[in-house]
Amino acid sequence: MEIKPAKDLNDNTREKISELFVEAFGKELKIISKDTNKLIKAFSHMFVLDYFYVGIIDNKIAGMMACADKEHYCINHDRKILIKNLGILKGLLADIIFTKYFNKYPKYPVEIDEQTGSIEFVATNKKYRKTGIASSIMEYIFLLDTYKKYILEVADTNEQAFRLYKKLGYKEVHRIKQKYAKSIGINYLVYMVK
């Protein structure tokens, strides 16, 4: 496997990242649309490649994650493009969701400084899960030595990711009970720092 900054890849990188994003988070995205092709097309514009890193196997993106500081966002969505691809109601819903969850400030309910990198959008292609891709990409980001600490958010019900982050040295620093836990399948959002 080769790990590269996404900005160093070719022109259809955003589309490939969007495919992986929709595959990985499709369950949560069904509220917007059940049509994966429509979601991929609608979201392809929004990934800020400067912050994404990808693991490549056989010339395909097998995994990804983003890392940015507290002042920058890994996605920059355009409401008009969302509406064009999803229709007015679903486009506005997507805009609200992305603004609320991915383009809010402060990013975290705990104080972070300029020396803290925010790990986001961790995803691995189904075909390559449990092969160490996420760990490898994260270790690559650590080796860049851009930040002294790293923070991430994980759902308490995502036990596999939770175990991975603990294995990589992350420690829980905060958790927030989710208001609609039963309907979204998440009891707490857990914030972890390394």
The whole-number pLDDT of residue 180 equals 67
Q: Both tokens of residue 65? A: 């994650």
pLDDT of residue 179: 80
Tell me, what's the pLDDT at 94?
A: 96
Report the alpha-carbon distance of residue 112 to residue 35 in Å, rounded.
Answer: 37
Res 185 pLDDT > 90:
no
pTM score, whole prediction: 0.93
Per-residue pLDDT, averaged over 181-189, amounts to 73
How does pLDDT run across 37-96, given as a tens digit for each residue?
999 999 999 999 999 999 999 999 999 999 999 989 999 999 999 999 999 999 999 999
Q: How confident is the model at residue 28 (pLDDT cuts 50, 70, 90)?
A: confident
**Which pLDDT belongs to residue 182?**
60
pLDDT at 184: 64
Is the omega angle on the peptide bond into residue 106 within 30 degrees of 0, that is, cis? yes
Fold of 2-149: Aminopeptidase (3.40.630)
Please state the rounded mean pLDDT for residues 148-177: 94
pLDDT, tens digit, 9 for 90 and up, residues 89-135: 999 999 999 998 888 878 888 999 999 999 999 999 999 999 999 99
Q: Higher model confidence: residue 110 or residue 11?
A: 110
Residue 101 is predicted with a pLDDT of 85
Which pLDDT score is estimated for 183?
A: 59
d(CA 103, CA 76): 8
**Among 62, 59, 60, 52, CA closest to 132:** 62
